[in-house]
Structure 1
Amino acid sequence: MLSKSLLPNKGIILNDLKRYNWIGISYTLLLLFVLPLQIIMNVNKLEERTSYISNPFKPLFYFQGELQEFFILAIPVLTAIFLLRYLQEKRSVDMVHALPLTRVTLCSSHVVAGTLLLLLPVLLTGLLSWVMMVAFNLQAYYALSDIAQWAGTTILISMTLFLFALFVGMVTGTSVAQGILTYITLFLPVGLTVLVLSNVERLLYGFQGQYYMEDGNKLEYFTPIIRLFQLGFDEKMLQSSEIMAYLFSIVLLFGLAIVAYKKRKSEAATQAIAFDFLKPIFKYGVTFCTMLLSGLYFWEIQNDFLWAIFGYIVGSLFGYLLAEIILQKSFKVLASLKNYLIYLLIMAGLLAGFEADVFGYERQLPPVEQVEQLYIGEGGYYTYLRWREYAMEEAATAITEKENIEKVLQLHEAIIQNKTYNENAQSYYSLTFAYQLKNGQTIYRSYALPEASYDQYKKPIFESIEYKHMQFAIFNVDANDVERIVFEPQGISKKAVITDRAHIQEIITILRQETEDESYEQMRDDNMPWARIELWRLVEEASPEMTYRYGVDQSYRSDGKQSYEIMHLNWKKHYKELEQWLQEKGYWQDARILPEDIAYARIVKTEAEKEWVDPKLLPGVEVTKPDELEACLQQLLGRPLYAVSQDENYRIIFYNKNDGEILSGYLKQENVPLLSAW
């Protein structure tokens, strides 16, 4: 049987509830505003809202989401601060500790009082939400289980924040420090990880922080603050493993708070940190974080290593002095700078180690015989992630042939050897490598490379059938799933819609063959495509957002009865077999813009700063002959290629009979008709 000295004290609990009942009342009113009241308001707009939201009542975190999240984040911490307010003042702490009660009893009593202040408002709000569900016949939109899920999640996160703030209050000596350190510490796992990886990304060539931040690590799960902001999405609700983790955290934090309270000295009141052994951790933690933040800032602004070093020194010095001032409650802290110099020497050694690549990270390349498969693609981590997710869903391919692996490794080796040249590029693109080794390890690298560089290495890789099958989703389309194919020409409101099953099969076969036959130069040309090709595939449910899967854009559309996934491709001008097929089948007239769709075109020589000037106000020539209009359409570029200098190019604008602009682009100088007219 537990001793009475270890159990919560009824008098302390009632006193806390009497003094701080305003917290519970305020919390109740706030929750009633963001949930039951919003439900009533949405009942009257049900038909209007369901036109763009399939279920306006689910999840319940959707209602006034930002306000809900703010209240859940603020009220528990505020409750802990007020309940421990007496600990942070010397007179009150001595008076309370003079009572014939153990510290365990005091702590457990505060926990019970805080739990009631946080629990009862949530339960009352959930009860009223259930009453309204029954009263307004909203069972089709949300159920008792949804209310229970909302209430349970709110209670779990609130109690975790409350007990965490309570524990922080035991190791700090001021209420201000308790509040600030609570949120800082909760953000620390994510914030420190981002800071460290962002700095390492600058120090190690080929390292990309996003890969380590997001690739299976799920940093948001390490802090309830970030996790809370995801609860407005149904698929992001707490999983059973997370619920168990929160329950364990609640028990652990309660135990830690009791232990810290028992060890805490009464004279720690008004001190920033109550325990001596935590003071060095606080001091050098602040120093390290401000150093990383300042160094990253100067690196981003100046893009120069020397400026980054300056930032590291200034930031670390500022953080060290600030921490000392807080701990000593005095500005006379210069005498402690000798310890800072030791810290600076350690950091200098660490920085030199990164710059020298002492662990060989930058030079690491796997032997070809150890590579099971690899990915290579232009773009950063998210491009790779989209390919990997698509590969998991629809068995997209990777590069596995030894000959192609060797070519990729040769390209990778050339990039490593030209590190200085690559880093000094003014304009660049990203190239990503991901090697899946036979031992299960993944080697991931991403580089910013100068435009039009390493073409001699990339050409045989990009032209390989294996690369194209990996990179372009047309090879993963099942023609039997495609309901229709739509050709939408550039610049004009007409379209060719193809629903014949045999024709759909033929088009997909031709598109695959055209893609396999593309040269590296054709893959990279700037010619404006004839039309956008849409492949409509029937799906169970349409999503509202536009997504991207490697090689194609993808959108979703619903007509109220059926939902479609739409894959967007381009009809490129060098797809001659597709062009011939469209002519033979009679789709040609509607599939692309033709000279008869155009009244005339105007070509102007414009400088970069005059790109947005009305072309009719600039000197130029007009093109009206059908054969010349067709030639211009054939040579039309999607972006400017500077003809004479970096400041001018040839722009062409096509007009209809009403003098309205229907299409514009650019021409190379040698393709401009009537050039002598200038």
Structure 2
Amino acid sequence: MTSKSLFFKLLRENVKRRAWAIALAVLGFFFSLPINLALTMENAIKTKFWRYNDYEQLIFAEGISEAEKLAKILEIKTQIVLDSVKFGNGLIAFLMIVAAVVIGVSSFSYLHNRRKVDFYHSIPVRREILFAVQYVGGFLIVALAYLVNLGILMVVSCAYQVPLSSVLGTAMAGWLLNLLFFLLMYAVVSIAMIMTGNMLVGILGTGVFFFYMPGMITLLVGYCSTFFETIHYYFLTGDGSPFMAAIKWTSPVAAYITAIGWNMDNQLGKHIPALFIALFAAVALALLALELYRKRPSESAGKAMAFKWSMMPIRVLLVFAFGMGGAMFFWLLQSTIVWLVFGAVMGSLISHCVIEIIYNFDFKKLLSHKLQYAGCLACVLLAVMAFRFDWFRYDSYVPDEGKVAEAAVDIRLDSGWANFLEIEPKEDGTLGITYYDGVEILPDHMHITNLAPVLRIAEQGRDEALERRDKQMRRFTDHETAAGSSSFIIGYEGDGEEGESGRYNTRVSVVYTLKSGRKVYRQYDLYLSQVMDDYSALYDSPEYKDGLYYRVMDLQPSDVAKVSYSERNKRVSVNPDGNSGYGDLLTAYQADLAELTTTRRLEENPIGQIWFVSRYESAYAEQQFKLYEQRNAGVKTRMYNYDLDSSQTWPVYPSFKRTLSALEAHGIPVGDVVPDDEIRSVMLDMSGVMRELGLRELEEEELAARYPLSGAGATLVFEEPENIRLLMDAMVDEECLSFNGLCDAQVAVYVTADTAAMTGRTGGYLQTNKITPEIKALFKGTPLEEYDLTGETADGEMAMDVPVMAESVVVD
């Protein structure tokens, strides 16, 4: 008998003996594919395709032809079928993971029974053929059960009038891709079963192979985020993070889940290299399983591990992981070195004992290999102490200026309102929008070569981070009290008044591009007032501003599709000039923004905001509007332009003389878009002030007696035109205030202006350096009279000059 005929004969017998596995696989795919499709389709029809029509019932407008109705319904039904069969269906993915474990365990479970091993290995058949029979048999059970039920699903699809031609290609692609990752997981389960001599240990081994590396990398991320103050979140968890990349590709399950998230419909081409790597990995792991099967001792059946050489590495890796995990657990509870060491000892000791018991099936062996345990514990303690005391000097790192080619800086105070996004054509011809993190996109646009201010800001951030780290590490340390007893300092790092630490607290992210080409990410939390000179030099430099505001600085007049301007919650469209279009306005704004300095930002807040909508952004908005109409079967629904625009809003400061002049030339009454005489009343919410003054708990009668003008409520209402003018001159819109952050506003008092126009209400705050004595006079007899609105110092001197705008105000 030839090897080929012998293989197929043994394969046929193997499949017959595994009827239970075949029945289980067929039932699993039967309920996951055709039955699930039928249920989904019936539910969709009963709910008028609510879930598949942008969560709105499919209702056709009058005048829609029957053919158009049928075409829309067929489109939705086709999409339902595609969602059921395409690669990325979560139910099928779960089923494939379960199938890989169940079929893998059942394929080689006979290796854990001594009588079965003796029988199979006594047959005059090479081990390679025995392995191939079991391995291929398990694969065919899943592949054929999946394929047969796909065929039944196609019949169900046709029953709902969905043509076979529109879904067959997607179904076959999903079948192939799901089987590819099944093979990857199946090979790992087979290796775990071959390396063990007991089924339970083999299943535990499968869990280790599936989750050990992702778990260890996640634990490492936890250590870095806990013990390093300056580590950047993008480096830890962003799209370009080496940790996230390692998690995705160090486990077959993680790789499968990662692939499920891909867009295989339109972006299959860019994932082909990764798919080939997955295929090569599946083949390599299958060959490794074959080699292990060939060398597996027959007498290892019934033992925990089939290979003695594998016991020590697995033990060491697991004990190290549990030791690190135990140390982190107790550090999070108490954050002291004593508990850190305790967690390391207990985590490693318990895991070592449990592993020894599993290895030997004997409780008396729980303390075997004491030297190995001592070595593991030493490694764990060295690792946790290295993080605790930063032996890596990670937080102390600031590169030498001579080693840095350029830098990109993202200061949250300057960029917190900015959207970093790109609108680009996709492979199918439509426009897609991609959002980026600042440190991900800014290095492509910001190339700072004058590194001295950047490095001095980084050094200040480094010093504050080290101080904060020291406090953070000691936040549960005992401190002597005046009475001689001990107390815990909770949240120690938050102690101290703002005046003692500085002003303009913000987060600064720096991306250093070294001359070697390597990028180094760091983030610092610091007060800019400590480095105001360097911050001013950085902000006023063209390299920083052109990079940070690249979406408007790189914009060309020919790229602008439309422009809008907004004041006091009223947005108006700017009409293009007959000759230059929007070129004069764009050029004026770019020049003003380039000349904006920190000195001006300390003195003034924006008075309005402007949109420069590019042609790509306008086309994307139009595309989204058409998609909305299509989903609603031609139903016309009015959508405001600003709901569609994905463009960035830009601040307009009072000092932007070029921009203000250009807007007025285009017919925009800057500063008077919503005139004061259109404002019917101004309301001041004092709830924050009353809370700070401890007045919220007073009885209404007592509060009214102390503050007769405020009444019992927390709102002041002004309706006199002169008072409205005073308050509106000092008010900064809430949205405009978010653009700056350097010019203070009294955020404890929320101001709401009720306008007669269709814009309704607009909200904001009182700008601190515009609160005049006349405005303060309005608050006599109210809690605001006792509240510091203008930044007075403790000795009564003014922290800044307050302009006097009127001689007297009569308070009604």
Cross-structure match for 1:342 = 375
TM-score, length-scaled by structure 2: 0.69
Partner-residue secondary structure (3-state), 1:20: helix
TM-score, length-scaled by structure 1: 0.81
Deviation at residue 42 of structure 1 after TM alignment: 9.0
Cross-structure match for 1:569 = 649
Deviations 1:322-347 (A, max 9, x none): 33333333444246555433322233
Which of 129, 145, 154 aligns to 1:121? It is: 145
Aligned equivalents of 2:669, 2:275: Cα separation in 1? 59
Cross-structure match for 1:513 = 591
Cross-structure match for 1:498 = 574
Deviation at residue 156 of structure 1 after TM alignment: 0.6
Residues 532 and 156 (structure 1), Cα distance of their counterparts in 2 relative to 1, 3 Å cut: same
1:536, 1:565 within 8 Å by CA — same for their partners in 2?
A: no
2:25, 2:99 within 8 Å by CA — same for their partners in 1?
A: no
Q: Aligned partner of 1:149: which letter?
A: A
The answer to whether 1:407 aligns with 2:453 is: yes
Which stretch has the larger CA shift, 632-641 or 505-514?
A: 632-641
Deviation at residue 192 of structure 1 after TM alignment: 2.0
Q: Aligned partner of 1:457: which letter?
A: D
Aligned equivalents of 2:338, 2:120: Cα separation in 1? 56
Deviation at residue 464 of structure 1 after TM alignment: 1.4
Deviations 1:19-68 (A, max 9, x none): 42212312330342477547855995679836689983556666993312
The answer to whether 1:426 aligns with 2:521 is: no
Cross-structure match for 1:386 = 437
Cross-structure match for 2:543 = 466
Cross-structure match for 2:687 = 606
Cross-structure match for 2:522 = 445
Residues 583 and 300 (structure 1), Cα distance of their counterparts in 2 relative to 1, 3 Å cut: farther
Deviation at residue 119 of structure 1 after TM alignment: 0.8
Which stretch has the larger CA shift, 367-376 or 206-215?
A: 206-215
The answer to whether 1:206 aligns with 2:252 is: no
1:377, 1:433 within 8 Å by CA — same for their partners in 2?
A: yes
Q: Aligned partner of 2:361: which letter?
A: K
Which stretch has the larger CA shift, 274-283 or 147-156?
A: 274-283
Which stretch has the larger CA shift, 572-581 or 130-139?
A: 130-139
Aligned equivalents of 1:97, 1:216: Cα separation in 2? 48
Which of 623, 626, 629 aligns to 2:718? It is: 623
Residues 527 and 323 (structure 1), Cα distance of their counterparts in 2 relative to 1, 3 Å cut: farther
1:594, 1:630 within 8 Å by CA — same for their partners in 2?
A: no
Deviations 1:622-649 (A, max 9, x none): 22234543443443354899xxxxx993
The answer to whether 1:107 aligns with 2:131 is: yes
2:87, 2:177 within 8 Å by CA — same for their partners in 1?
A: no
Aligned equivalents of 1:225, 1:328: Cα separation in 2? 30
Deviation at residue 194 of structure 1 after TM alignment: 2.7
Which of 721, 728, 750 aligns to 1:651? It is: 750
Residues 528 and 590 (structure 1), Cα distance of their counterparts in 2 relative to 1, 3 Å cut: closer
Deviation at residue 118 of structure 1 after TM alignment: 1.0
Count matched residues: 654
Q: Aligned partner of 2:254: which letter?
A: I
2:395, 2:465 within 8 Å by CA — same for their partners in 1?
A: no
Cross-structure match for 2:636 = none
Q: Aligned partner of 1:654: which letter?
A: A
Q: Aligned partner of 1:662: which letter?
A: R
Q: Aligned partner of 1:112: which letter?
A: V
Q: Aligned partner of 1:566: which letter?
A: S
Which stretch has the larger CA shift, 103-112 or 225-234?
A: 225-234
Cross-structure match for 1:196 = 220
2:327, 2:384 within 8 Å by CA — same for their partners in 1?
A: no
Cross-structure match for 1:546 = none
Partner-residue secondary structure (3-state), 1:430: strand
Aligned equivalents of 1:609, 1:451: Cα separation in 2? 30
Partner-residue secondary structure (3-state), 1:666: strand
Residues 307 and 22 (structure 1), Cα distance of their counterparts in 2 relative to 1, 3 Å cut: same
Cross-structure match for 1:320 = 352
1:608, 1:648 within 8 Å by CA — same for their partners in 2?
A: no
Residues 358 and 48 (structure 1), Cα distance of their counterparts in 2 relative to 1, 3 Å cut: closer
Which of 741, 745, 761 aligns to 1:662? It is: 761
Residues 559 and 19 (structure 1), Cα distance of their counterparts in 2 relative to 1, 3 Å cut: closer
Deviation at residue 274 of structure 1 after TM alignment: 2.9
Percent identity of the aligned residues? 17
Q: Aligned partner of 2:251: which letter?
A: T
Aligned equivalents of 2:711, 2:370: Cα separation in 1? 69
Which of 655, 664, 675 aligns to 2:779? It is: 675
Indicate the RMSD between aligned Cα atoms, in angstroms: 4.5
Deviation at residue 474 of structure 1 after TM alignment: 1.3
Deviations 1:449-476 (A, max 9, x none): 4576543432211221210111112112
Deviations 1:558-617 (A, max 9, x none): 345999762121434445433454344332389854433432122243247969x9x996
Deviation at residue 516 of structure 1 after TM alignment: 1.7
Which stretch has the larger CA shift, 248-257 or 296-305?
A: 296-305
Which of 386, 391, 401 aligns to 1:368? It is: 401
Partner-residue secondary structure (3-state), 2:582: helix
Cross-structure match for 1:397 = 445
Aligned equivalents of 1:274, 1:164: Cα separation in 2? 16
Q: Aligned partner of 1:123: which letter?
A: L
Structure 2 residue runs of 5 or longer lacking an equivalent are 56-74, 421-434, 472-492, 496-504, 631-640, 697-709, 741-745, 783-812
Q: Aligned partner of 2:596: which letter?
A: E
The answer to whether 1:162 aligns with 2:186 is: yes
Aligned equivalents of 1:293, 1:624: Cα separation in 2? 63
Residues 468 and 271 (structure 1), Cα distance of their counterparts in 2 relative to 1, 3 Å cut: farther
The answer to whether 1:486 aligns with 2:564 is: yes
Residues 121 and 293 (structure 1), Cα distance of their counterparts in 2 relative to 1, 3 Å cut: same
Cross-structure match for 2:24 = 23
2:111, 2:301 within 8 Å by CA — same for their partners in 1?
A: yes
Residues 97 and 185 (structure 1), Cα distance of their counterparts in 2 relative to 1, 3 Å cut: same
Partner-residue secondary structure (3-state), 1:410: helix
Residues 449 and 184 (structure 1), Cα distance of their counterparts in 2 relative to 1, 3 Å cut: farther
Q: Aligned partner of 1:480: which letter?
A: S
Deviations 1:144-191 (A, max 9, x none): 432332111011111221222111111123333333432442233333
Deviation at residue 276 of structure 1 after TM alignment: 1.9
Aligned equivalents of 1:108, 1:526: Cα separation in 2? 77
2:323, 2:348 within 8 Å by CA — same for their partners in 1?
A: yes
1:17, 1:117 within 8 Å by CA — same for their partners in 2?
A: no
1:196, 1:292 within 8 Å by CA — same for their partners in 2?
A: no
Residues 63 and 205 (structure 1), Cα distance of their counterparts in 2 relative to 1, 3 Å cut: closer
Aligned equivalents of 1:139, 1:299: Cα separation in 2? 60
Structure 1 residue runs of 5 or longer lacking an equivalent are 544-554, 642-646
Cross-structure match for 1:549 = none
Partner-residue secondary structure (3-state), 1:586: coil
Cross-structure match for 2:52 = 49
2:33, 2:150 within 8 Å by CA — same for their partners in 1?
A: no
Which stretch has the larger CA shift, 55-64 or 110-119?
A: 55-64
Residues 618 and 507 (structure 1), Cα distance of their counterparts in 2 relative to 1, 3 Å cut: farther
Which of 307, 319, 323 aligns to 1:291? It is: 323
Which of 608, 611, 632 aligns to 2:727? It is: 632
Partner-residue secondary structure (3-state), 1:495: strand
Q: Aligned partner of 1:497: which letter?
A: S
Aligned equivalents of 1:558, 1:457: Cα separation in 2? 46
Partner-residue secondary structure (3-state), 1:599: strand
Residues 504 and 174 (structure 1), Cα distance of their counterparts in 2 relative to 1, 3 Å cut: farther
Residues 429 and 539 (structure 1), Cα distance of their counterparts in 2 relative to 1, 3 Å cut: closer
Aligned equivalents of 1:541, 1:124: Cα separation in 2? 45
Counterpart mapping for 1:301-312 below 5 A: 308-312=340-344
2:22, 2:145 within 8 Å by CA — same for their partners in 1?
A: no
Deviation at residue 620 of structure 1 after TM alignment: 4.8
Aligned equivalents of 1:587, 1:144: Cα separation in 2? 58
Aligned equivalents of 1:391, 1:620: Cα separation in 2? 44
Counterpart mapping for 1:147-296 below 5 A: 147-204=171-228, 206-208=230-232, 210-211=234-235, 214-215=239-240, 217=242, 218-219=245-246, 220-229=248-257, 230-231=259-260, 233-234=263-264, 237=268, 239-296=271-328
Partner-residue secondary structure (3-state), 1:193: helix
Counterpart mapping for 1:50-65 below 5 A: 56=79, 65=89
